[in-house]
Amino acid sequence: MADVAERAGVSTSTVSRTLRGLSTVSPEVRARVEQAARDLNFAVSRQAASLVTGRTGTVAVMVPTLNSWFMGSALSSLAPLLRAAGMQLNVYEIPDLAERTAFFEHLPARRNADALLVFSFDLTDEETARLDDLGMPVIYVSQHVEGRPSVYVDDVAGALHGTRHLLNLGHRRIAFVPTEGASGFTFSSNERLLGYRQALAEAGVPLDDDLVVSTRTGSKRAAAESLGALLSLREPPTAVFAEQDEVAVALIWNLRKTRIAVPERISVLGFDDQPLADWFDLSTVAQSPSEMGRLAGELALKLIDDSDGDHERHIVLPTHVIPRGTTAPVATRPAGQPERPEGPEESEAPGSPASA
Amino acid sequence: MADVAERAGVSTSTVSRTLRGLSTVSPEVRARVEQAARDLNFAVSRQAASLVTGRTGTVAVMVPTLNSWFMGSALSSLAPLLRAAGMQLNVYEIPDLAERTAFFEHLPARRNADALLVFSFDLTDEETARLDDLGMPVIYVSQHVEGRPSVYVDDVAGALHGTRHLLNLGHRRIAFVPTEGASGFTFSSNERLLGYRQALAEAGVPLDDDLVVSTRTGSKRAAAESLGALLSLREPPTAVFAEQDEVAVALIWNLRKTRIAVPERISVLGFDDQPLADWFDLSTVAQSPSEMGRLAGELALKLIDDSDGDHERHIVLPTHVIPRGTTAPVATRPAGQPERPEGPEESEAPGSPASA
DNA sequence: GTGAAAGCGCTAACAA
DNA sequence: TTGTTAGCGCTTTCAC
């Protein structure tokens, strides 16, 4: 910066003022300084600046993985927003328990970011408390933490509406397939289960715990097992509501393999509306992670600017039922009994794998 | 840090030494300092440290998007590696030309990172030159830049082997569907096209430019148009090699819709081996972005440590042909003429959408 | 509107 | 092995 100052024939203070866009610089001087900075290819060291301002110009995000549709979408909308605000984006990927322990032990974000966005973790109270005295705004995303800024989807309502969709199609035996929380985060399983139950209750359909069978995500095999449990019930379901699109698709995959027609014999509903859903023509409950990322980012910026300000601190996002080709009115005959001989089904959307 | 020093009854130098794990600290003092640091919940400010060391403890990555299988996988393997080395990960998402111009204008990574990983851009010589005097190691990933550290997949060989696979199945009319470079990056289209041509040449199959039809990625509609161009040729292809799995799947989707059996009437081969390929039972040429991320990260760390060292600076990763259900021997009759009446195909993997 | 000087929190050289 | 001191590059009073 000293070089720039010398070249422009001013003091470093003036250079600093100019480069930060303060208005207290005369136009001619400003021009000269900017030219000098450009000539010398100069960029301010945030490190040095932050030392005196106490701000790092960085927003940290803590994510369970970077390799998922959800995180990709969320971060994709977050990143440009931060850049536009002149902020850097720092990513902490915490894939397993060991990393998680280490993270909470050292809290590496401390003093190295102006705000922290925590994505999709089910934190213990102790961990939350630890984040509380991190000395920066902490925003919980895709989860809902009492008394802290949170941005999340209304999972209860989403599952409620999804289940109602199935009920409206005449289904009464509706299974729910939640995803087993692998490494301490559950993608809102509980809330979605709640919404499912609520819908059944309000429709006067008796709850049947046999119809709730959890599975692991992304595994065709695990889906097959869950499916087996459901299909071998005395009274099997006519519709299955999977807590995630991936699981829904795995179920469909297995159903097709078994030559059980979807949606004629059994309807399948997902949750997320990720691209896979479109490929498989899957009916689903849509949520928008990109919207979530955007709102979380905006909230973060507001809280950095003015952490005691009067901001909406609990932002709840809506969901939408997207009916596609895998949900249909319940067959008039009891499920499990074919309406007609097995064989090729009639034409259907090519995106949905057929049995034939 | 002064607080910690006081509490431990030592100087700040000793605290600094202890916290950096230097061996020149006596065990008792070390214990005392560590305890004090823990009590006070102290974390070193990287900002302040970097001011004097000249190192930021940060690796920056410049990516076109965060919302893709490729980037997700690559960053997912890169992030833990950096964390293990005590480095932060800084992400610059540059989705469009405007952002790109702004990025190269200001080079915000300058002085704010110890190394830069550039993913999947086709840079101009001017841009490359600009990165050259960034004052830090720049590693090009998923691309191949003359004279600079690069980590990339052998796209030519991949396409060569893929095409050979089709040739070995008896195909002679083999189409290639590259992806139009949307915003200045081409995902190695050219190299893959090269490999395709090479394979045909070595097999003595004449090149036919009508068999190369580009498309946009992720668009069913665009795929339909490309497909139309191919199917309306006087001598249509019996196999299509898509430059990306997504395109391959879109082609299959449209083929099924048109009731053209895959692979009986036409074989389809992809490139990438992303999860979608498995869902659609797509034969493909596999590459490993996670391996790429890992190697790029390791190279970055090496170059930060010792930028003139004798490191392998061009790392080329292999590809593997993964035959699945969408490639099969060419039909004995000329393509375009059905071998048997249209109708349900025999049983096939349920992952691949069937026409029936 | 601009400059001089102090100091942010740390590390590195040097001394002890 | 430990402490003292200087200074990294910037921003921010406070004068002018």
Helix, coil or strand: residue A50:
helix
CA distance A90 to chain B (A): 5
AA identity, residue B306:
D
Q: Do A51 and B51 touch (CB under 8 A)?
A: yes
Q: Of all protein residues, which has its CA closest to the C1' atom of C5?
A: A13
Name which of B148, B189, B196 is nearest B174 in CA terms: B196
Nearest to A47 among B43, B50, B353 (CB): B50
- Strand D positions with any atom < 7 Å from protein CB? 1-5, 7-13
| Residue-level pLDDT at A259 | 96
The separation between CA A291 and the C-alpha centre of its own chain, rounded to angstroms, equals: 9
| Residue-level pLDDT at B182 | 56
Q: Which protein residues have their Cβ less than 7 angstroms from some atom of strand D? A: A 1-2, 12-13, 15-17, 19-20, 44-45, 48-49, 51-53; B 9-14, 17, 24-26, 28-30, 51-52, 111
- Do A295 and A283 meet the contact criterion of CB atoms below 8 Å apart? no
Q: Do B93 and A99 touch (CB under 8 A)?
A: no
pLDDT band of B341, cuts 50, 70, 90:
very low
Distance CA A59, CA A20 (A): 19
| Residue-level pLDDT at B216 | 87
CA distance A258 to chain B (A): 9
Pull the structure tokens for residue A90. 């720092």
* pLDDT surpassing 70 at residue B356: no
Instruction: Return the CA Rg of chain B.
Output: 26
Q: Do A47 and B51 touch (CB under 8 A)?
A: yes
Nearest to A353 among B76, B93, B352 (CB): B352
Nearest to B256 among A88, A95, A350 (CB): A350
Residue of chain B minimizing CA distance to A54: B47
DSSP B92: E
Distance CA A269, CA A176 (A): 10
- Do B142 and B188 meet the contact criterion of CB atoms below 8 Å apart? yes
What chain A holds in terms of domains, given with CATH numbers, is: 2-44 (1.10.260.40), 53-153+289-317 (3.40.50.2300), 155-287 (3.40.50.2300)
Residue of chain A minimizing CA distance to B107: A43
> Gap from B195 CA to C14 C1', in Å?
62
CA distance A175 to chain B (A): 22
> What residues contact A334, with CB distance under 8 A and at least 6 apart?
none
> Gap from B108 CA to D12 C1', in Å?
24
Q: Provide the b/e sequence for A249-288 (b: ≥16 CB within 10 Å).
A: bbbbbbbbbeebbbbbbbbbbbbbbbbbbbbbbbbbbbbb
CA distance B189 to chain A (A): 23
Q: Which residues of B touch A99 (CB under 8 A)?
A: 80, 83
**How many other C-beta atoms lie within 10 A of the C-beta of residue A300?**
30
Average pLDDT, chain B: 89
- Do B294 and B353 meet the contact criterion of CB atoms below 8 Å apart? no
Alpha helices in chain A (DSSP H): 2-8, 12-19, 27-40, 46-53, 69-84, 97-106, 125-132, 155-168, 189-202, 220-231, 245-257, 275-279, 289-305
| Residue-level pLDDT at B345 | 42
> What residues contact B241, with CB distance under 8 A and at least 6 apart?
B159, B162, B163, B166, B174, B175, B176, B177, B196, B269, B271
More confident residue, A12 or B341: A12
The least confident of A65-79, B148-162, B199-213, B296-310 is B296-310
Would you mind telling me the total number of residues written for chain A in this entry? 356
Pull the structure tokens for residue A263. 């949606």
| Residue-level pLDDT at A1 | 87
| Residue-level pLDDT at B289 | 97
Q: Do A89 and B88 touch (CB under 8 A)?
A: no
Q: Of all protein residues, which has its CA closest to the C1' atom of D3?
A: B11
Q: Which residues of A touch B46 (CB under 8 A)?
A: 47, 111-112
* pLDDT surpassing 90 at residue B253: yes
Residue of chain B minimizing CA distance to A106: B43
The reported pTM is 0.90
Per residue of chain A (356 residues), what is the pLDDT tens digit?
A: 889 999 999 999 999 999 988 878 899 999 999 999 989 888 898 889 999 998 999 999 999 999 999 999 999 999 999 999 999 999 999 998 899 998 998 888 888 999 999 997 888 899 999 999 898 999 999 998 989 999 999 999 999 999 999 999 999 999 999 988 654 446 588 899 999 999 999 999 999 999 999 998 878 999 999 999 999 999 999 999 999 999 999 999 999 999 999 999 999 999 999 999 999 999 999 999 999 999 999 999 999 988 777 777 899 999 999 999 999 999 875 544 444 444 444 444 444 443 33
User: DSSP string covering B151-168, please?
Assistant: EEE-HHHHHHHHHHHHHH
- Strand C positions with any atom < 7 Å from protein CB? 1-5, 7-13
pLDDT tens string B292-339: 999 999 999 999 988 777 777 899 999 999 999 999 999 875 544 444
Q: How, if at all, do strands A314-317 and A283-286 pair?
A: unpaired
CA distance B230 to chain A (A): 20
> What residues contact B275, with CB distance under 8 A and at least 6 apart?
A218, B69
- State phi, psi for A74 to the nearest 5 degrees: -65, -50
Pull the structure tokens for residue A12. 């470093």
Q: Do B110 and A43 touch (CB under 8 A)?
A: yes
> Cα dihedral angle (A190, A194, A196, A201), rounded to 10 degrees?
160
| Residue-level pLDDT at A187 | 57
Residue of chain B minimizing CA distance to A99: B80
Name which of A188, A172, A180 is nearest A271 in CA terms: A188
The least confident of A46-55, B81-90, B251-260, B326-335 is B326-335
Distance CA A254, CA A115 (A): 44
Residue of chain B minimizing CA distance to A290: B67
pLDDT tens string B314-324: 999 999 999 99
Pull the structure tokens for residue B245. 């799995």
Name which of A265, A285, A245, A228 is nearest A354 in CA terms: A265
pLDDT tens string B125-136: 999 999 998 989
CB-hemisphere CA count at 13 Å for A213?
A: 22
| Residue-level pLDDT at B186 | 66
